Amino acid sequence: MKAILFRKYGPPDVLQPGDVERPVPKDNEVLIKTYAATVTAGDCEMRSFTMPMWIWLPVRIWMGLIHPRIQILGQELAGEIEAIGKDAKQFKVGDQVFAACNNFGAYAEYKCMSSDGPLAIKPDNMSYEEAASIPTGGYNALHFLKKANIQPGQKVIINGAGGSIGVMAVQLAKFFGAEVTGVDSLKKLDTLSAIGADHVIDYTQIDFTKTGETYDVILDVVGKSSFSRCVKSLNENGCYLLANPRLLSMLRAVWTSRTSNKNVMFEFAPAKPEALEFLRTLIEEGKIRAVIDGTYPLEELAAAHAYVETGRKTGSVVITIGRKD
């Protein structure tokens, strides 16, 4: 099968086309013919291996010190089940699905996944390209916002609202009944308003932590705002969610949560099938929609990675793979 491989760490041009053996599903697995995938910031970080020093070594040991052991990246996909193992009872051949790939592998024509993993039937009102853009941003946003236990009428601000996690967080926070402010660059603000943000802020012109406004929940996707000013921008018993924490921020989070009535949380969000099922329901009810910046064929994956690394994308960048007929 065709795939895009990376055999060494580095810039986007380390991504090269190749042919690899089509995987065969184990007893509890399904074989998915992939029609769409995405380029996430996490894919780019893994390819270039630019990540915070506190996790650099353990992740590098897991991934491969000299050369990557996992040579096909891609964290989310949509496609059709082509074969199933004898114990994979949850799905059948021909099911249209979308999934989060815990061990990467979406940049290929086929992908095997555990039938009880983060895999669900594709929303019937979405294309494969739209469905592929949902899982990673969706389950991350859902995980953090559920931790905050948002109540109707609460004020929620999302810093980095224009990325794949952010656009899902804006829509989910609105679904939970919050008054939502989205913070990102100017070119993304119209999109944020279109998907439900009540207020938008251009971070290049206004620092939301210096306006005097306070919030019940702050979700910081990008992790570049002042920790102390964000805490001061919380209402009493407010919640500060760190989706991309630095080591010092994590240490300060523990101290702040123990010594004040403000809760600061950081976690790695688990990808679970229940989250995808929840998101599918909301999508089919018209509560959430996909936000796609652009699409690239699999053969132009390196160009897609280069674009995502500019930080200019709004929502998701989608990769089309194979034929859907």
* 197 in Cβ contact with 161 (< 8 Å): yes
Q: Is residue 168 within 8 Å of 291, Cβ to Cβ?
A: no
User: Between these two residues, 59 and 73, which has the higher pLDDT value?
Assistant: 73
Residue reference for tokens 């012109």: 205
Please say if the pLDDT value at position 114 is more than 90.
yes
Six-digit token pair at 39? 């380029």
DSSP class of residue 23?
P
Express each pLDDT in 243-272 by its tens digit: 988 888 888 889 898 989 999 998 888 999
Closest CA to 96 of 32, 2, 27, 139: 32
Q: What mean pLDDT do residues 299-310 have?
A: 97
List where CATH 3.90.180.10 sits in the chain: 2-134+290-320
Mean pLDDT of 233-239: 96
- The listed CATH number (3.90.105.10, 3.30.9.100, 2.40.100.10, 3.40.50.720) that belongs to domain 136-266: 3.40.50.720
Q: Where in the chain is the domain with CATH 3.40.50.720?
A: 136-266
> How confident is residue 76, by pLDDT bands cut at 50, 70 and 90?
very high
The CATH number for 2-134+290-320, chosen from 3.40.50.300, 3.40.190.120, 3.90.1150.180, 3.90.180.10, is 3.90.180.10
Identify the pLDDT of residue 96.
98
Give the predicted TM-score (pTM) of the model: 0.94
Report the range of poorest mean pLDDT among 57-61, 160-164, 291-295, 297-301. Answer: 57-61
Average pLDDT score over residue span 77-97: 97
pLDDT of amino acid 323:
63
Which pLDDT value is given to residue 268?
A: 84
The residue among 158 and 266 whose pLDDT is bigger is: 158
Contact 110, 138 (CB under 8 A): no
- Give the confidence band of 324 by pLDDT, cuts at 50, 70, 90: low
Q: How many CA atoms lie less than 13 Å away from 175 in the CB half-sphere?
A: 21
